[in-house]
Amino acid sequence: MIDKSYDIVIIGGGPAGLAAAISAFDNGVKNVLVLEREQRTGGILNQCIHNGFGLTRFKESLSGPEYAYRFVKQVKDRKIPVLTQTTVLSISQDKTITAINKEYGVFTVNAKAIVLAMGCRERSKGALNIAGTRPAGIFSAGTAQKYVNVKGYMPGREVVILGSGDIGLIMARRMTLEGAKVKAVCEIMPYSGGLKRNIVQCLNDFDIPLYLSHTITQIHGKDRVTGVTISKVDQNKRPIPNTEIYFDCDTVLFSVGLIPENELTKGMGVPLSPRTKGAVVYQDRQTLVDGVFACGNVLHVHDLVDFVSDEAELAGLSAANYVKNGASVHDTIDCVNGKNIGYVLPQKIDKNLSGDVKLYFRVANEFKNCKIVCECNGQVLAQKKKPVVAPGEMEYLVIKESEIKNANGQITLSLEELL
């Protein structure tokens, strides 16, 4: 049987969980356990066989599995125990984790600190109230990716994709390379939700048309999809009559957003942010429950895994500090999103923590020539100009430690358009 008590238990062995484990270990806490529900660690990177991972962190273009392996190996080298095919069923506020696997059945482990790193899930087609039938041939982009890249099967031959998030764009290219015909990518917003480089490399390079301000209004077919109707939408995202375009296809892929998977988090009573759909955290990634930390896509959806790794290292370090030093007293100021900002993270800044604070944020719309300003009581703590920003790309702004020490109220981040 496994040990009953650990200093740190990490929930999830994807890129966030692995980096957090390594960081906790290297910062002096050796008694760490990683729990992973899949057969192997690495998370969703294992099915992302395209390249482009690690450009920021390693200055190299790696495939998903290659990027994951760098962390998998480090965990192995440190002999950090990992339980795979182990699903966590619940976590209590006293940090008892109940999990299940084939070997131990239903079992519990106790932790001094917990790092939540469960990742996110795809928003499903069902969430969209799309009219029509419910035949075979409807997949989330990630499910299609798993069939093609991991299982070696084709989910269809003629494809229409709804949503221009990164997975949708990547799958447009992947399906094309496998001989499928991708007839259209529709995006309900007037701009793409994905990275610019993916629009160029995955759509433009393959002459796949992108229909902005369009959505699927009807799915056709009884047993298998036979076609879809798309329509242009107005400013309120409502379909405009008589703008319908019909496509014959046997497959529809949905890439319509990612949702942090926080069922365990909610179950243990950790407060969540309605904006990020992840836990409310301090700059060290501690949640509002002492000794519980969160990082990666379970905290907020990232577009680059490089940032996930950075964040997870921070959470791992903080968890290690918590184990070594115990709970600390917070001197909290709130950090909120102002004009034109979708969300900002962390939502809480603890003045008792040392160091500069990197505020991550997403803008609420596409802007050109703008300025991001971080203010407290009318005083500017930090700012930067940007020639172009889009909701699809996460941005950050650094506030100096000295500015934080002087701040004496709520911090607001906003975006001003420059003329």
In sequence order, the β-bridge partners of residue 354 are none
- Could you identify the residue written with the tokens 């934080």? 404
Distance CA 363, CA 375 (A): 16
93 binds another protein (CB under 8 A): no
Q: Measured from the CB atom, is 101 or 340 closer to another protein?
A: 101
Among 27, 63, 133, 243, binds another protein (CB under 8 A): 133
89 binds another protein (CB under 8 A): yes
Shortest Å distance, C-beta 101 to another protein = 5
Distance CA 137, CA 159 (A): 9
- Please tell me whether residue 136 adopts helix, strand or coil conformation: strand
Distance CA 294, CA 314 (A): 10
101 binds another protein (CB under 8 A): yes
Exposed, middle or buried, 385 (CB in 10 Å: 0-12/13-18/19+)? Answer: exposed
Q: Per CB under 8 A, which region of 99-107, 279-287, 300-308, 349-357 contacts another protein? A: 99-107
242 binds another protein (CB under 8 A): no
Among 1, 59, 79, 106, binds another protein (CB under 8 A): 106
Shortest Å distance, C-beta 151 to another protein = 6
> Which parts of 208-227 interact with another protein (CB under 8 A)?
217-218, 222-224
Among 124, 201, 332, 383, binds another protein (CB under 8 A): 124
Print burial letters for 174-195: b (CB count within 10 Å at least 16), e (below 16).
bbbeeebebbbbbbbbeebbbb
With contact defined as beta carbons under 8 Å apart, do 60 and 54 qualify?
A: yes
Distance CA 208, CA 119 (A): 30
- Could you identify the residue written with the tokens 């990742």? 119
Shortest Å distance, C-beta 96 to another protein = 13
Q: Per CB under 8 A, which region of 26-34, 59-67, 120-128, 316-324 contacts another protein? A: 120-128
Q: Measured from the CB atom, is 133 or 328 closer to another protein?
A: 133
241 binds another protein (CB under 8 A): no
Distance CA 368, CA 388 (A): 4
Q: Indicate the length of the chain as a whole number.
A: 419
Among 23, 41, 140, 414, binds another protein (CB under 8 A): 140
Shortest Å distance, C-beta 191 to another protein = 22
155 binds another protein (CB under 8 A): yes
Q: Measured from the CB atom, is 220 or 371 closer to another protein?
A: 220
Q: Measured from the CB atom, is 17 or 54 closer to another protein?
A: 17
Q: Measured from the CB atom, is 157 or 386 closer to another protein?
A: 157
Among 69, 81, 96, 157, binds another protein (CB under 8 A): 157
Q: To which H or E segment does residue 318 belong?
A: helix 305-325
- Please tell me whether residue 64 adopts helix, strand or coil conformation: helix
User: 262 φ, ψ to 5°?
Assistant: -110, 30
Q: What's 281's DSSP letter?
A: B
143 binds another protein (CB under 8 A): yes
- Please tell me whether residue 9 adopts helix, strand or coil conformation: strand
- Could you identify the residue written with the tokens 């399906």? 175
Q: Between 47 and 86, how does the x/- string for binding to another protein read (CB under 8 A)?
A: --------------------------------------x-
User: 415 φ, ψ to 5°?
Assistant: -120, 130
Among 36, 166, 187, 250, binds another protein (CB under 8 A): 250
Q: Measured from the CB atom, is 101 or 201 closer to another protein?
A: 101
Shortest Å distance, C-beta 110 to another protein = 16
> Which parts of 3-42 interact with another protein (CB under 8 A)?
37
Distance CA 381, CA 284 (A): 19
Number of residues that bind another protein (CB under 8 A): 53
Shortest Å distance, C-beta 194 to another protein = 19
Peptide bond into 346 cis (omega under 30): yes
Identity of the residue numbered 58? F
- Residue numbers at the binding site for another protein (CB under 8 A): 37, 85, 87, 89, 100-106, 121-122, 124-137, 139-140, 142-143, 146-148, 150-157, 178-179, 217-218, 222-224, 239, 250, 263, 266
